[in-house]
Amino acid sequence: MTAYDDLMAYDHDTQALAQIAGRLGWDQETVMPRGAAPQRAEEMAALESVLHARRTDPRVGDWLAALDGVSLDPVAAANVREITRSYERASKVPAKLAATLARVTSAAQGKWADARAGDDYAAFAPVLSEVIDLKREEGAALAAGGDVYDAMLADYEPGTTAADLQGMFGALRPALSELRTAILEQPKPQGVTGAFDEAAQLKLSALLAQTFGYNTDHGRIDKAVHPFSSGSGLDVRITTRTNLHDPFNCFYSTIHEVGHACYEQNIDTDYLLTPLGQGVSMGVHESQSRIYENQIGRSRAFTGWLFGQMRDAFGDFGIDSEEAFCAAVNRVSNGYIRTEADEVQYNLHVLLRFDLERALMAGDLQVGDLEAAWNDRFEADFGYKVDKASNGVLQDVHWSVGLFGYFPTYSLGNVYAGCLHDALRSAVPDLDAQLSVGDTSAATGWLQQNLQRHGGLYEPREVIERASGQVPGPEPLLAYLRAKFSDIYAL
């Protein structure tokens, strides 16, 4: 078994170096001095170059060839599967193209930020064209004759194709539209009013993280402009943010990131610094952040407990019952911005992007026509016009940095969360009684046991099927949303 042992010993250091790259990303977003950016770019480039050389090292190819056809136990087979994927992915893309992409997207991100600040799509279009051309070239190299968009998707969600997604999303869109319309015809629930001390928000946010099982012996919570979770294994850090008048922004950002972080923290420690020691895909990751945030964190039962915590922390804040509080937390209202969207409308924002980016990649939509296409589609889906580019086509960073095939994993995660929630409710019939006293342990324990601990052992769809006991589809999510919002809005 020498080839496998050698491969794993070599890969161990690659994994460790990849964790370092992640830590530098955390550093950059939280504590790095402003003026350090140019040096940091050099440091990251040097580390990425080491990682690329390791991932494509001919010895890796030799070890994998020696293991071809060898019978392996499930863990070893999964390790070999993941290393093969990484080796082939890194080997297929010419080093020069990878370097050009890194340089162009790094510059494009800055140009996107400037264009967004100036609400000027035309200023961004040329560099977006350049990114798309390069991504198409990369996609063609990865697809090796297959579908280019599917090859891109495989970077984030191996095993899922655009056709799979179209199947799910095709059912989602009209159903969500219908639910949305019904809700918006009802009176709007009361929101929170006044100012919420930011230190007190962070204190309650830390309590929420603890309540959901986040382990600060192996993590930490800092403030950052964009909330995120970073790292795997024994060092998984999250960030959150505060808004003086909107404490839910802080609380639900924290719970969302805690969902991502707990997935990483709860993976079997046997997999530490192996290919299995991290979440298996973006979609499965998002299923954990969303089920923590929404199905658990925004449930009537849990918000009842949170209402009490908020009264203790902030006194009277204009809402006087658990029911009204739950409605405020789950308020559906019009808005332009995906990241601020409620549970009902969120996926409509994602589906818009999924359709547009496939059209861009297929050449059916030209970059010059993208803003108009966005605005038309937005009006069709939401019934009102986009007022400015920063509220429309320029709102997300993703395309500027070359993330194509990434957006749909958000909605896929929501679909997965719906399936998992179904199974969780069956497995833990008295879940609401527990959540109503702030006890999430049965819910998070079930997710750990049935999904999180496996890390990369099973392919994404397989781990969802094993945990949920069903072939993933949109119905559980839709049924959950219909039931929940019918209740809140008396539909």
- Name the residues annotated as catalytic: 257
Draw the binding track, 39-58, toward its own copies (x: CB under 8 A; -: no contact): xx-xx-xxx-xx--------
Q: Judged by CB under 8 A, does residue 224 bind its own copies? A: no
| CB distance 78 to 457 below 8 Å | yes
Q: Judged by CB under 8 A, does residue 99 bind its own copies? A: no
Token pair for residue 427?
């497995």
Of positions 186, 193, 210, 216, contacts its own copies by CB under 8 A: 216
Cβ at position 217, least distance to its own copies in Å? 4
Based on CB atoms, which residue is closest to its own copies, 36 or 117? 36
Q: Judged by CB under 8 A, does residue 199 bind its own copies? A: no
Query: Which one of the spans 16-24, 59-67, 410-418, 434-442 is the region binding its own copies (CB under 8 A)?
Result: 16-24
User: What is the helix (H) or strand (E) element at residue 221, kind and residue range?
Assistant: strand 221-223
Query: Which one of the spans 28-36, 202-210, 256-264, 281-289 is the region binding its own copies (CB under 8 A)?
Result: 28-36
For residue 291, give the DSSP letter: I
Residue 218 to residues 209, 210, 234, 262, 414: CA-CA distances in angstroms?
A: 13, 12, 5, 10, 27
The C-alpha atoms of residue 442 and residue 435 are separated, in whole angstroms, by: 9
- Residue 426 is which amino acid? S
Following DSSP, what letter does each residue of 244-278 receive, concatenated?
A: TT-HHHHHHHHHHHHHHHHHHHTS-GGGTTSTTSS
3-state secondary structure of 230: strand
Q: Judged by CB under 8 A, does residue 8 bind its own copies? A: no
Cβ at position 229, least distance to its own copies in Å? 14
Q: Judged by CB under 8 A, does residue 220 bind its own copies? A: yes
Q: Interior CA angle at 267 toward 263 and 269, to 5°? A: 150
Cβ at position 17, least distance to its own copies in Å? 5
The C-alpha atoms of residue 410 and residue 285 are separated, in whole angstroms, by: 9
| CB distance 408 to 398 below 8 Å | no
Query: Which one of the spans 19-27, 153-161, 292-300, 418-426 is the region binding its own copies (CB under 8 A)?
Result: 19-27
The C-alpha atoms of residue 330 and residue 344 are separated, in whole angstroms, by: 9
User: What is the helix (H) or strand (E) element at residue 238, kind and residue range?
Assistant: strand 237-240
Draw the binding track, 241-280, toward its own copies (x: CB under 8 A; -: no contact): -------------------------------xx-------
Size of the site for its own copies (CB under 8 A): 38
Q: Judged by CB under 8 A, does residue 177 bind its own copies? A: no
Query: Which one of the spans 73-81, 218-226, 361-369, 468-476 is the region binding its own copies (CB under 8 A)?
Result: 218-226
Based on CB atoms, which residue is closest to its own copies, 36 or 491? 36
Residue partners of 405: CB distance under 8 A and separation at least 6: 149, 152, 153, 154, 155, 156, 157, 357
Query: Which one of the spans 80-88, 131-139, 230-238, 335-343 is the region binding its own copies (CB under 8 A)?
Result: 230-238
Residue partners of 245: CB distance under 8 A and separation at least 6: 192, 194, 195, 196
Q: Judged by CB under 8 A, does residue 31 bind its own copies? A: yes
Based on CB atoms, which residue is closest to its own copies, 240 or 395? 240
Of positions 1, 36, 65, 244, contacts its own copies by CB under 8 A: 36
3-state secondary structure of 414: helix
Residues that bind its own copies (CB under 8 A): 12-13, 16-17, 19-20, 23-24, 27, 31-40, 42-43, 45-47, 49-50, 215-220, 233-235, 237, 272-273
